[in-house]
Amino acid sequence: MSKLNVETLRELERLEVGFLISMPAPGGERGHYATVEDLLLFEENPEKLYAKAYGLTLEQFRDWCAHECSIVCSATTKAGNRCTNFVKGGYQVEASEYLRRNGEYCASHAR
């Protein structure tokens, strides 16, 4: 159950009071202007809101953030681990580029 008073939040929104949430982004953070629904989702799990705001699944968002907002090679090494190299031009990219290019390979594994 939410500890937020939704009625009060909706009234503030009606009065055009904005809610700004800081989100992870390439090179640091950026602001996200949140709706009341966003605030409720943020209260439940901030990562779910971040993923939604960027148009990513929760798993994609976590992968993107875990690799410094970058695209990591999709190849598997001979040892059976995921390659840790970034793809060409894939360092600190916007979520939309990550989504579009995820699955690419680094120069060592390009086919």
Q: Which uninterrupted H or E stretch holds 44?
A: helix 36-44
Separation CA 47–CA 64 (nearest Å)? 12
Judge if pTM exceeds 0.85.
yes
- CA distances 23 to 10, 53, 83, Å, are 22, 9, 27
The string of pLDDT tens digits covering residues 8-25 is 999 999 999 999 999 999
Mean pLDDT of the chain: 94
Q: How confident is the model at residue 83 (pLDDT cuts 50, 70, 90)?
A: very high
Residue 44 has pLDDT above 80, yes or no: yes
- CA distances 55 to 11, 36, 61, 80, 84, Å, are 28, 18, 9, 30, 24
Separation CA 23–CA 55 (nearest Å)? 13
Which pair of tokens denotes residue 94? 């916007």
Q: How confident is the model at residue 93 (pLDDT cuts 50, 70, 90)?
A: very high
Question: What is the pLDDT at residue 3?
Answer: 86
Question: What is the pLDDT at residue 25?
Answer: 96
Question: What is the pLDDT at residue 1?
Answer: 58
